Chain A
Amino acid sequence: MASGSSERALARAWDSDIAYSFRSSPLTMAAAAFTALYLLGAMLAPWIAPQDPFDLKQLDLLNAFLPPVWEVEGKAGFLLGADDQGRDVLSTILYGSRVSLLVGFASVVLAMLLGIGLGLISGYAGGAVDAFIMRVADVQLSFPAILIALLIDGVTRGLISAQRHEELAVFVLVISIGLSFWVQYARTVRGLVLVEKNKEYVLAARVIGLPPALIMLRHVLPNVLGPVLVIATINLGVAIITEATLSFLGVGVPSTQPSLGTLIRIGNDYLFSGEWWITIFPGAALALLVLAVNLLGDWLRDALNPKLH
């Protein structure tokens, strides 16, 4: 198939381009290495963490507030100290990162799927459908993510029982954050679709009678994935931060299964009392993670921006 081979050629060119700009930026490589390491650490947490902080049987309150191991009162097995419940800080970071990354990735994927789908439909269908979707997007865009998340969280808290809500907290967060981010994708995809749909290859596909859904998925979608990926990378950082912020506002995961944001919020109370490690280590972990993800996003944006070549 002609279109298939041209696609493959395109992909090859893309790859080499990206590979080149990747190789030429040590910062990007460092960010990528860090992100990979971080993901690995979070995934392997049950095997590498000294303690399972979610398993209450392993906790001893008498270990609470142990300083990092290099300080005088530090204790072996608590490399980065212990928090107010006697949880090993390193372990809570590893486990907490799982929660944060899960919320981050899942909400970005949700926003992406929703945004791409609606964007494709909006751009391709045009007319009343387009107008409706875009007006909904306007409404949505006029509300900052944090308020939307607060609203959704409030509504779900009302709809499901409180105990169930604790179990479902992660999903609620994913939906709250995901729903507040879809507009960017939808608008971007729609704009690109408007450009692409009048291009000859799409017209040709239409002429030979391919159904619109197929055209969109097979021909238009691959061409809009680049910019979408850029937004997604940047959004991943924002989503993780949003989760942390929501936790500060009291809308988050239960404190017995803390995310990085919850850890920082808890540790915040101990900044003045000298137990800096409870908040500084999770804070640094969060900052480095988001920084690395953002650097990758920056690089991706520049590398994929045709106007810069």
Chain B
Amino acid sequence: MIAFVLRRLLQAVAVMLVVSLISFALFNFVGDPINNMVGQETTLDERAELRRQLGLEDPIPLRFARFIGNALQGNLGVSYRMAEPVGRLILSRLPATLELSLAAAVFALLVGVPMGVYCGLYPRAPLARLFQAVSLVGVSLPTFLIGILLILIFAVHLNILPSFGRGEAVALGWWTTGLLTAAGLKALILPAITLGLFQMTLIMRLVRSEMLEVLRTDYIKFARARGLSNRAVHFSHALRNTLVPVITITGLQLGAIIAFAVITETVFQWPGMGLLFIQSVQFADVPVMASYLILIALLFVIINLVVDLLYYAVDPRLRLDRPGKAA
């Protein structure tokens, strides 16, 4: 166990280093932040001087070393765009992204699992076919279009839900939450649906096919033979067996949700890290971009580690390198 954890941790460190190197190298190519930082009349000499002071003229390895050195001391630099310490900036946006991602995951599970169960139990029912067709829309339209269409319907035409922002957020220490106010909860609905739709479809399809498979196993046939009610067979036997892969996939998908939040946050002006990242890309705000990517990598590494450890804890028989279910 210890050896396994150690190996995983080492891998995690390697991953982090590679990611930071790649993301850092990338920044040479996103453009020159200087022209965004100055007014139209700043002379070229002044621009060059600013570039020199920011260290943008130094060779890449030096800049990278400096960046990592500072980062290890908890200093992620100052945003070129907002003149704020990057660490604080990202930390202040983290709660919004995490709440949105969790809400999206919960939505995907709460809607996806029952729909999947139904489709698995009654694959030929008209309703099941409808579910399947409708859920496919979630993967057939780009997220940004779904978001805009939802805004058009629910904010502009029906005027019942807000079109942008987080509503009213309450501060709990450094964490801000929108879950405690009515305005905050209302503001969460459209972005969470937009973000969760894709995962919902995924989960529904996964549950359906797992159910179909499990229901055909001897184990279920045996349970039926013992005279258990349909209800008991379906829910305590079949569904329970289905849920292990579902939870695994959802866990792994959490990373994808956080990443896809970039688009949802842009459409809904949701004040999370993804929005911050996109704005920084447009501005070539290198310190923010680098820190975001590294933080995301860290999150993924942690999620993966936790999923692996859970696997290990729940079912030691499972081979650790068991191939992931094709989604």
A residues engaging B (CB < 8 A)? Answer: 27, 134-135, 138-139, 141-147, 151, 154-155, 157-159, 184, 187-188, 190-191, 227, 230-231, 234, 237-238, 241, 244-245, 248-249, 261, 264-265, 268, 271-272, 279, 283, 286-288, 290-291, 294-295, 298, 301-302, 305, 307-308
Contacts and interface: CB of A to CB of B under 8 A. Distances in A.
Interface residues on B, range: 35 or more
Contacts of A147: 259, 293, 296
B142 A291 contact: no
Nearest to A158: B29
Contacts of A158: 26, 28-29
B29 A295 contact: no
A144 B141 contact: no
B49 interface: no
A295 B136 contact: yes
Nearest to A142: B300
Contacts, number: 127
A120 to B, nearest CB: 13
A155 B27 CA distance: 9
11 contacts: A134-B321, A142-B301, A147-B296, A187-B326, A234-B327, A244-B142, A271-B148, A291-B137, A294-B139, A298-B205, A305-B209
B67 interface: no
A152 to B, nearest CB: 10
A275 B162 CA distance: 24
B15 interface: yes
B263 A291 contact: no
A149 B148 CA distance: 23
A283 B143 CA distance: 12
Nearest to B253: A144
A64 to B, nearest CB: 22
Closest 6 CB pairs of A and B: A158-B29, A191-B323, A144-B259, A142-B300, A290-B140, A244-B142
B304 interface: yes
A155 B29 contact: yes
A295 B324 CA distance: 22
Nearest to A294: B136
B256 interface: yes
A146 B304 contact: no
Given A143-B259, A144-B260, A298-B205, 5 more contacts: A151-B22, A154-B30, A283-B141, A302-B209, A308-B212
Contact of A301 (B29, B133, B209): B209
A252 B279 CA distance: 18
Given A142-B301, A298-B132, A308-B212, A287 B323 contact: no
A144 B256 contact: yes
